[in-house]
Amino acid sequence: MNQKKPLPNSKKAKKVSEPISFNKETFHTLCDSLAKKDKHLKEIINRHGYPPTWKRKPNFETLIHIILEQQVSLASAKAALNKLKEKLGAITPKNLLALTDAEMKACYFSRQKIVYARALALSIENGELSIESLKKLADEEIRLELKKIKGIGDWTVDVFLLMVLQRTDIFPTGDLAMMNSLKKHKQLAPTTSKEAILVISEKWKPYRSIASMIFWHAYIIERNIQW
């Protein structure tokens, strides 16, 4: 069994400017800490084990992948990304912008997502967005920068912050899978409001990302979702 490492000191973290992130070395310790506070999270871990960390690379291809995942199945988004890789080799802003609408449709992009992908590519090519520089910004600063781009909203930013930068306190209330899993495991009514769930989430701060990942994990396993 891996020796547990101490939890990050959240009180000290508030006094420094660097954003707080988790990693594969601290992840299980954080899961265990939340499980002690919440019996439902503990039940999920006992039944299904720890979730994967789902770490993604901080690059253009990843942001395109997240855009493709908007409002579709994970498998459909992955199929589109793989088709794009076959077409381009390297998924870069310049290569993507060279494609016609017809070529992007052949890669399973909807008309809307063609617009979104091009808007992202142009913002990088024009020097309006640097993905590398986002790493140094606070969560809300990143949210403001990314939401300037057409087609990027809170859900896309939440996934980027959580799975790419591994920030600790992201709670994606716009994600139906996570919210439905939370309602199921906490035996809440389907009509429970977002505001009520935000109140429940207070007990998980500043590690709401970890709780979200545990609920996602349960959702994926219980529905045998492949991706």
Domain closes at, from 164, 194, 211: 164
Q: Residue 153: which pLDDT band, with cuts at 50, 70 and 90?
A: very high
- Token pair in block for residue 142: 């990143």
CATH of residue 125's domain is 1.10.340.30
Whether 29 and 65 share a structural domain: no
Tracing tokens 């908007």 back to the chain, one arrives at 70
Whether 92 and 146 share a structural domain: yes
Domain that holds residue 183: 24-53+169-222
> What is the rounded distance in angstroms from the CA atom of residue 73 to the CA atom of residue 62?
16
- Token pair in block for residue 207: 């590690």
> What is the rounded distance in angstroms from the CA atom of residue 194 to the CA atom of residue 179?
9
* Residues of the chain above pLDDT 90, percent: 90
Domain closes at, from 124, 146, 164: 164
Torsion-angle region of 88 (φ positive above 0: left; ψ -120 to 50: alpha; else: beta) = alpha
Model-level pTM? 0.89
Number of domains in the chain: 2
pLDDT tens digits for range 190-217? 999 999 999 999 999 999 999 999 999 9
Nearest to 182 by CA among 2, 31, 38, 21: 38
Q: Is residue 121 part of a domain?
A: yes
Beta bridge partners of 21: 167
Nearest 5°: CA angle at 135, between 59 and 107? 20
> What is the rounded distance in angstroms from the CA atom of residue 157 to the CA atom of residue 82?
22
